[in-house]
Amino acid sequence: MPERFLNSLSLRFARMRSVKVKFFAAIAAVAVVFILVITSLNLFFYESYYMAQRQNSLTEIYEEVRTSYHAGDSEAFLDVLFRIENSDSVRLSIIDETGQMIYDSDTAQESQNIFGHNVFANWRMEQLVKSALSAADPQKLNAGEVDFVAVQMRDLRENFLCLVGKLGDDYLVERVPFTYMKQNSMFNMTFLAITGLVTLLICLALSAFLASHFTKPLIEMGEVAKAMTRLDFSKKYEGGRTDEIGQLGESLNLLSDHLEESIRELRTSNQKLAEEIKKKEQVDEMRREFIINVSHELKTPIALIQGYAEGLTAGVAESPEDRDFYCTTIAEEADRMNTMVSQLLSLSRLELGRESVQSEPVDLGECMRRAVDKTAVLRTGRDLTVTCTGSVTIESDAHQIDQIIMNYMTNAIRYTPDGGRIALSVQRTAQGGAKVIVFNEGEGVAEEELPRLWDKFYRTDKARSRASGGTGVGLSIVRASAALLGGTTGAENVPGGIQFWVELPACVHVPANLSET
């Protein structure tokens, strides 16, 4: 339970640290500060500002009344007074130089008797006006200026803001109740509070929308970047914006594509390098095995030659028959080493691509019969039956084909029991080429050993290796020669024995840069 709570708490803190939350908080903070500033300005400066505005308004009214008063048109003057009283909620009083009230807004509206002495019936208003007049600065008034005074009426339980100014020899008193101004201010503050709250709510909602709108592509790009760290380049930014954020997303997509391509190339290079290393290891292993096999193959004939030569030198062979035997053995072993070296040189030239290829019409049936004739001496005294069937002509290299068939033929003779059968045949393939098959009776080869028959120095019968006279290189030469001609080789067990085959194309490809060596 505590672990789950800690995980939940950690997740909440992680969300609080997200760009979306920070963006929302920033906009919301700006909105709150803005509303607080407006509210503070209203609380501390609105009353002074409102008072100054009312004073300016009263001054403008005074200027308008004074202008109309000096114009001398009583009807026009009356219209101005009524308009001001009805539109600006200001009450006006005019007092002559003796202190008598000659006009008051309240009395004029009640009695319709505008001008004349002693028409002011409301002694409280008269007292208010006179208090304002007595409180005004005479120097300002005589200088043609106006003066603002605040008058408190205890009977009315009201305070008034009054403007006092001169109209010629008369005096003008404008009055506005403070209660009206306070009500105005209260209504203003209430309305400001309501509008501020509504504005704050709207700003918060707008902040949430803007935070989601502007941070959504950033969050998507963050997910793409996280996927890239996992080497997953399938995710792409799909915002479709054309501004700087969209350009950043497209750049991230390009980066993802380049990284994917680079990593793919790197993987490919690593795979190639691994294959090359593996191939090199195989080549090194083959080289070591080759050296061991060559050393092993040459060790016996060298030892025999050395032994028989020492025997001749020491006079061990006293009779002519013994000397002939020693000399014959030395010659045979030397010939055997020469054959092996020649085959190895030929195989090396084939594997290195240094053998030339001549394209000419080759009768494969004739090649098979020629191989049978050349190997007749190897079959002497063994009572082997050899047959040749088929005749197919292709464009290829006669020398390489003769070498392939001769190796197959000598290999068949070597492993066919006395009195056994060898069959050579050729047939046209579906692709227009030819397939030469050499069958020999015998025990066959274990299936798992068939692929290794083409390895250098590999023999299935280690005990009979020297007795058979083979070097273990013949089939390797066959495969290399077939590859040079663009063909393939194979071996398979069949009823009664084993057969080797080579499949050749109808026309050999001669490289343009291949020269005869």
pLDDT at 155: 61
Shared domain for 304 and 404, answered yes or no, is: no
192, part of any domain: no
Total Cβ atoms within 10 A of residue 488: 14
Task: Calculate helix-pair angle for 244-314, 320-351, nearest 10 degrees.
Answer: 170
431 plus 501 within the same structural domain: yes
Q: Is the pLDDT of residue 456 over 70?
A: no
Query: Does 172 fall in a domain?
Result: yes
H/E element, 43:
helix 19-71
The tokens for 406 are 């001769």
Q: How many whole angstroms separate alpha carbon 470 and alpha carbon 372?
A: 18
> How high is the pLDDT of residue 75?
82
The most confident of the ranges 67-76, 81-90, 190-199, 251-260 is: 67-76
Percent of the chain at pLDDT > 90 equals 14
Domain boundary among 290, 325, 353: 353
Final residue of a structural domain among 165, 186, 207: 186
Instruction: Give 108-118 pLDDT, tens digit per residue.
Output: 655 544 444 44
Same domain, 338 and 475: no
At position 462, the amino acid (one-letter code) is K
Question: What are the φ/ψ torsions at residue 418 (nearest 5 degrees)?
Answer: -55, 135
- Mean pLDDT for the chain? 77
Range of the domain at 318: 238-353
337 & 365 share domain: no
Residues 6+ positions from 286 with CB-CB distance below 8 Å? 456
Could you report how far apart the first and last alpha carbons of the chain are, in Å? 85
Q: Residue length, the chain?
A: 517
Residues 181 and 255 in one domain: no
Question: Which band of pLDDT confidence, cut at 50, 70 and 90, is reported for residue 400?
Answer: confident
What total of structural domains would you count in the chain?
Answer: 3
342 with 367, same domain: the answer is: no
DSSP annotation of 453 reads: G
Sign of CA dihedral 242, 247, 253, 254: positive
- Domain ends where: 166, 186, 206? 186
Q: Is 497 helix (H, G, I), strand (E, B) or coil?
A: strand
Distance separating alpha carbons of residues 238 and 253, to the nearest angstrom: 9
| Residue 229 is assigned to a structural domain of this protein | no
> Please, what is the angle between helix 320-351 and helix 474-484, to 10°?
30
Same domain, 12 and 107: yes
Assess if residue 333 is contained within a domain.
yes
Q: Give me the mean pLDDT over the 40-61 stretch.
A: 80
Neighbours of 512 (CB within 10 A): 6
Q: Does residue 433 belong to any structural domain of this protein?
A: yes
In a domain, 268, yes or no: yes
Q: Residue 37: which CATH number? A: 3.30.450.20
The residue-averaged pLDDT of 315-319 equals 68
Dump pLDDT digits (tens) for 424-437: 999 999 999 999 99
Write out the DSSP string of 424-450: EEEEE-TTS-EEEEEEEES----GGGG
Average pLDDT (400-412) is 88
CATH code at 458?
Answer: 3.30.565.10
**What distance in Å separates the CA atoms of residue 76 and residue 83, rounded to the nearest whole number?**
11
Residue 469 reports pLDDT greater than 60 = no
Phi, psi of 144, deg, nearest 5? 85, 10
CATH number for the domain spanning 308: value is 1.10.287.130
Claim to verify: residue 273 and residue 383 sit in the same structural domain: no
pLDDT at res. 298: 63
What is residue 515's predicted lDDT score, i.e. its pLDDT? Answer: 41
pLDDT beyond 70 at 20:
no
Distance of CA 221 to the CA centre of its chain: 10
pLDDT at 114: 44
Query: How would residue 441 be classed by pLDDT, with cut points 50, 70 and 90?
Result: very high
Tell me, yes or no, whether 201 lies in a domain.
no
Q: Quick one: CA torsion of 287, 288, 290, 294, rounded to 10 degrees?
A: 140
Lowest mean pLDDT among 129-133, 167-171, 344-348, 441-445: 344-348
| Positions of E strands within 228-304 | none
Q: 123 and 172: one domain?
A: yes
Q: State the pLDDT at residue 448.
A: 87
Q: Say what the pTM is.
A: 0.43
- For residue 414, pLDDT beyond 70: yes
Is residue 206 included in any domain, yes or no? no
11 and 148 belong to one structural domain: yes
Domain match, 384 and 453 both: yes
d(C-alpha 453, C-alpha 458), whole Å:
6
pLDDT at 369: 93
pLDDT digits (tens, 9 = 90+) for 185-241: 666 677 777 877 787 788 778 777 776 776 777 777 777 778 777 777 777 767 666
Confidence of residue 293 (pLDDT cuts 50, 70, 90): low
Nearest-angstrom CA–CA distance, 382 and 469: 15
| 503 and 408 within one domain | yes
